Structure 1
Amino acid sequence: MNRIALVTGASRLKGIGAAACRALAESGNDIFFTYWTDYDQKMDWGIAVDEPARLQADIESKGVRCERIELDLSQASNLPRLLEQVETTLGYPDILVNNACYSVNDTYDTIDEENLDLHYAINVKAVTLLTSYFAKGFKKGKGGRVISMTSGQSLEPMRYELSYAITKGAVEHLTKTLVPDLAEKGITINAVNPGPNDTGWVDEHLEKVLLPKFPMGRLGTPEDAAQLIRFLASEEAGWITGQVIHSEGGFQRTT
């Protein structure tokens, strides 16, 4: 029987969530993914209305089962309902990938309560509670995986992303704090920092600025992050837990 992966925030075909779904499906995992098009439609990158359906079709073409749901993860009451939906349609998940996030630029001079709360609702509350619900419902005794996305907040200041930086920074501490409790349930927990990653937000000017900072001669791609996620979800990664892995191609912050 295939293992089951729940991936949040996999709406856009070019995003890390979608790439993670494909990579996990290629390894024989059944996939359940969430998306929230209202957020993507407000961002500069946008989203086509059929992208979630196209992603589901792509995953199913790899010979695994796939289900999806459009769900506002900022509403805490939706989180236990999500796990119930996964269990009803596919079975209880073995793997949780906390990929969904909220990100809008701000600084100490522009931050306000509303924007900070929006970041907190997805980046801290949803990740923490969904991880908690997943762990409490996990009865398999071994092979559980929690993989959360971070962005290297511990490595350098993120000057123009104050709300994003401080809320995503909490994910690193959540990852380290939950190690002993989740280990008792047979679950590992790790975080992935993909570095600057071209998921559709990098324009021509920004690419020229970023490219010299990558000694490997290219920007990171969603597939780079997805390959690490796939490994951390595998049986081979069963001894790795409590780690924040910076998979960013040697990105040079000081050049």
Structure 2
Amino acid sequence: MTEDEGTPGDAGSGDAHERPVALVTGAGRLAGIAAGIAVRLATDGFDVATTHWSPYDERMPWGRQTADVERLGEKLRAAGARTLAVEADLSLPGTPGDVFDAVNERMGPVTVLMMCHAESVDSDLLSTSVESFDRHFAVNTRSSWLLVREFAQRMERPDGSARIIALTSDHTTFNLPYGASKGALDRIVLAAARELAHLRLTANVINPGPIDTGWMSHELRHDLTAKTPAGRLGQPGDTASLVSFLCSPGGEWINGQLLCSDGGINS
């Protein structure tokens, strides 16, 4: 795990800050859902720490977005937020603790844990390798459990403002390791709503549906647009709007829920 050069220095001036801290994982691409959520939370008054893992992007069709982490940091700073970008391999069991150590040291205790990170490589029941299956569960499931555990163990002042939110998916066929690991993630986060009730936090899962972040083929874009009642694809801002509400005082009564924010495509 390494802190990204360029943004960490913005976090630690030593001055007192009234802004709460949000940790948004998986924010390596400016076009991604995580980046949209991070900017919205900064606009809402949060300081925002992020994680990313460049080797994952290198394996994906969009490739490594070298400048995106710094560009996201610029957007967060423009919204008045302190920022910290941590490059973190969440397939390793020690990484969640290291991430919280870095954020706590430079920015203070985390109030919102927003988990957007994912390993996502399509394969089916017959073609999935053991290595890929294990990597998906290490990143999507185990690291999420460990992040939730670190968040709970480090909480200093349970005052009703703490939030745990994760992005999930309802994929099943031809996406075995991703869909199965996301299903397990759901159970972990929903369990937190009850098991961590003494911390006065809320824990919810969001299924954002197909969000247009540059991964769709032309044919898929056309098909999904036709299946959505609104006649358009989802945008990162659509998911960010729900996250913003859940993190607000008005969102406190929503707890232990798997929420579909998908424009009605699954209705």
TM-score under structure 1 length normalisation:
0.95
Tell me the alpha carbon deviations over residues 82-119 of structure 1, each in whole angstroms, 9 at most, x when there is no partner.
Answer: 11111111100000001100000111110121000110
Q: Report the secondary structure of 2:110's partner residue.
A: coil
CA distance in 2, matches of 1:190, 1:252: 19
CA distance in 2, matches of 1:35, 1:117: 20
Letter aligned with residue 154 of structure 2: G
Partner of 1:197: 211
Gaps of 5+ in 2: 1-17
Q: Report the secondary structure of 2:138's partner residue.
A: helix
1:175 deviates by 2.3
Aligned length: 249
Partner of 1:107: 124
CA distance in 1, matches of 2:101, 2:34: 21
CA distance in 2, matches of 1:36, 1:252: 31
Partner of 1:175: 189
1:79 maps to 2:96: yes
Partner of 1:129: 146
Q: Among residues 40, 57, 67, which one is paired with 2:84 in the alignment?
A: 67
1:181 deviates by 2.0
CA distance in 2, matches of 1:233, 1:170: 23
Moved over 3 A (4+): none
Q: Report the secondary structure of 1:226's partner residue.
A: helix
Tell me the alpha carbon deviations over residues 33-67 of structure 1, each in whole angstroms, 9 at most, x when there is no partner.
Answer: 00001101110122321110110011101111111
1:147 maps to 2:161: no
Partner of 2:4: none
Gaps of 5+ in 1: none
Partner of 1:230: 244
Q: 1:252 to 1:180 in 2, by over 3 A?
A: closer
Tell me the alpha carbon deviations over residues 167-225 of structure 1, each in whole angstroms, 9 at most, x when there is no partner.
Answer: 00012211222222222111110011000111110121111111110010101111111
TM-score under structure 2 length normalisation:
0.91
Q: Report the secondary structure of 1:97's partner residue.
A: strand
CA distance in 2, matches of 1:236, 1:85: 30
Partner of 1:163: 177
The answer on whether the counterparts of 2:190 and 2:205 sit within 8 Å (CA) in structure 1 is no
> What is the identity percentage for the equivalent residue pairs of Structure 1 and Structure 2?
35
1:252 deviates by 4.2
1:20 maps to 2:34: no
CA distance in 2, matches of 1:63, 1:176: 32
Letter aligned with residue 87 of structure 2: E
Letter aligned with residue 222 of structure 1: P
CA distance in 2, matches of 1:234, 1:41: 35
Tell me the alpha carbon deviations over residues 110-152 of structure 1, each in whole angstroms, 9 at most, x when there is no partner.
Answer: 0121000110111100001110111111121121100001013
1:208 maps to 2:222: yes
The answer on whether the counterparts of 1:147 and 1:191 sit within 8 Å (CA) in structure 2 is yes
